Amino acid sequence: MCSTPYSGSVDEVDVKILEVLKANARASLRDIAKAIGKSPSLIHSRLRRLEKIGVVKGYTVLVDYRMLGYEVYALTLLQVEGGHIADVEKLLATEPNVRAVFDITGEYDVAILAVFSSVSELDKFIKKMLKVPYIKRSVTNLILRVVKDSPHIDSPLHITRKSLGTHSH
């Protein structure tokens, strides 16, 4: 299935563009075009479409927070009263030290990844969080060593039925 510039599907050209951007989000349109053998105008229209359909969510800088003094990385699991999970997640997402909030399955309902400049800063955060009436239980784990922290998967991207806009019945 070949995608048109206005469709909601992703094709091989789009995947090649994404692979170049995964390696270097600062690559110019000309650099991308040269790398995949397409025109810069085609790359421009494809990128705009990928942004519009939500495949490309933005362009950002990857910051090493440890280099800026954020030495304490914590993973916290929370049990939350069922009817208030979404509210608690929204609240946690507004906290400045929180990098990620995940709605999870299992014994706990929410997982958060946060970074702090000190253990006392983490302690204040935990105590503040536990004042939220809907949080029933928490377990916080200190992350001793970061082995991998990347917004990207390492395997080559590929097209799935969902990315093609097809649905199985």
CATH number at residue 87: 3.30.70.920
Higher pLDDT, 152 or 13: 13
Give yes or no for residue 6 having a pLDDT over 60. Answer: no
Instruction: Identify whether residues 35 and 93 lie together within a single domain.
Output: no
Give yes or no for residue 5 having a pLDDT over 80. Answer: no
Domain assignment present for residue 168? The answer is no
Higher pLDDT, 167 or 29: 29
Per-residue confidence (pLDDT) for residue 161, from 0 to 100: 55
Per-residue confidence (pLDDT) for residue 155, from 0 to 100: 74
Token couple for 160? 């799935």
Give yes or no for residue 84 having a pLDDT over 60. Answer: yes
Helix ranges (H only) for 2-101 are 12-23, 29-36, 40-52, 85-93
Instruction: Identify whether residues 47 and 113 lie together within a single domain.
Output: no
Token couple for 167? 């649905």
Instruction: Identify whether residues 72 and 131 lie together within a single domain.
Output: yes
Give yes or no for residue 73 having a pLDDT over 80. Answer: yes
pLDDT tens, position by position, 8-53? 689 999 999 999 998 899 999 999 999 999 999 999 999 999 999 9
Instruction: Identify whether residues 28 and 95 lie together within a single domain.
Output: no
Domain assignment present for residue 156? The answer is no
Instruction: Identify whether residues 55 and 88 lie together within a single domain.
Output: no
pLDDT tens, position by position, 90-110? 999 999 999 999 999 999 999
Instruction: Identify whether residues 55 and 113 lie together within a single domain.
Output: no
Instruction: Identify whether residues 43 and 100 lie together within a single domain.
Output: no
Which of 15, 36, 62 lies at the terminal end of a domain, its last residue?
62
pTM: 0.76
The amino acid occupying position 114 is A
- What rounded mean pLDDT belongs to the chain? 89
Helix ranges (H only) for the chain are 12-23, 29-36, 40-52, 85-93, 119-129
Q: What is the dihedral of CA 43, 49, 55, 59, to 10 degrees?
A: 60
Spatial strand order of the sheet with 135-143 comes to 98-103, 110-116, 72-80, 135-143
Instruction: Identify whether residues 94 and 56 lie together within a single domain.
Output: no
Per-residue confidence (pLDDT) for residue 160, from 0 to 100: 65
Higher pLDDT, 167 or 128: 128
pLDDT tens, position by position, 111-145? 999 999 999 999 999 999 999 999 999 999 999 99
Q: Residue 43 belongs to a domain with what CATH number?
A: 1.10.10.10
- Number of folded domains in the chain? 2
Backbone CA torsion sign across 16, 20, 25, 27: negative
Per-residue confidence (pLDDT) for residue 163, from 0 to 100: 56
Domain assignment present for residue 155? The answer is no
Higher pLDDT, 35 or 156: 35
Print the domain residue range for 130.
Answer: 65-143
